[in-house]
């Protein structure tokens, strides 16, 4: 079973957020939490909160064991950009782009992964 969660309008640019996201892609939830706790990036704390929320959803809503969960997919997209203006010399103005991120995560169970591999093996062995 796959559990999907989404975090919208995080006010950190996608480029910076992807750096943190790539650290936890493919890891178990426990490893990902440890990695995020010790990561010195601004996006690490919202990611940690989001990962814990997705894990709690899997545990409470789908009765899955959090020890078997891993991060199957993680995608960081760009949110709408906020455009602001900053005054400059001689009456001019400079545009400032405040970028944001949409993050989506898919958690899956390791037991399910083992079962899928076994099924594909069995299908290949059958004549």
pLDDT number for residue 112: 62
Give the angle 8-12-14 at the CA atoms, nearest 5°: 80
- Residue 41's Cβ-side half-sphere holds a number of Cα atoms within 13 Å equal to 19
Query: What average pLDDT score do residues 94-99 get?
Result: 97
Q: Model confidence at 108, in pLDDT bands (50, 70, 90)?
A: very high
Task: Answer positive or negative: Cα dihedral of 43, 49, 53, 56.
Answer: positive
CATH number of the domain enclosing 6: 3.90.470.10
Query: What average pLDDT score do residues 76-91 get?
Result: 97
How many percent of the chain have pLDDT more than 90? 84
- Residue 97 pairs in a beta bridge with 83
User: Looking at the chain, how many residues does it have?
Assistant: 127
- Tell me which DSSP letter residue 81 carries: P
- Residue 7 pairs in a beta bridge with 103
Tens digits of residue pLDDT in 10-63:
999 999 999 999 999 999 999 999 999 999 999 999 999 999 999 999 999 999
Structural domain for 32, as ranges = 2-85+94-125
Query: What average pLDDT score do residues 87-100 get?
Result: 97
Burial of 29 (0-12, 13-18, 19+ CB in 10 A): buried
Could you give the CA distance from residue 15 to residue 93 in angstroms, rounded to a whole number? 26
């Amino acid at each position: 079973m796959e559990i999907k969660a989404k975090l919208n309008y995080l006010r950190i640019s996608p480029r910076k957020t992807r750096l943190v996201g790539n650290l936890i892609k493919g890891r178990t939830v426990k490893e990902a939490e440890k990695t995020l706790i010790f990561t010195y990036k601004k996006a690490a704390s919202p990611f940690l909160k989001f990962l814990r929320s997705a894990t709690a959803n899997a545990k409470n809503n789908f009765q899955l064991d959090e020890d078997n969960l891993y991060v199957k997919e993680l995608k960081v997209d760009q949110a709408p950009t906020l455009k602001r203006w900053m005054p400059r010399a001689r009456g001019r103005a400079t545009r400032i782009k405040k970028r944001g991120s949409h993050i989506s995560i898919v958690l899956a169970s390791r037991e399910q992964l083992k079962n899928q591999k076994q099924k594909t093996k069995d299908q290949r062995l059958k004549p």
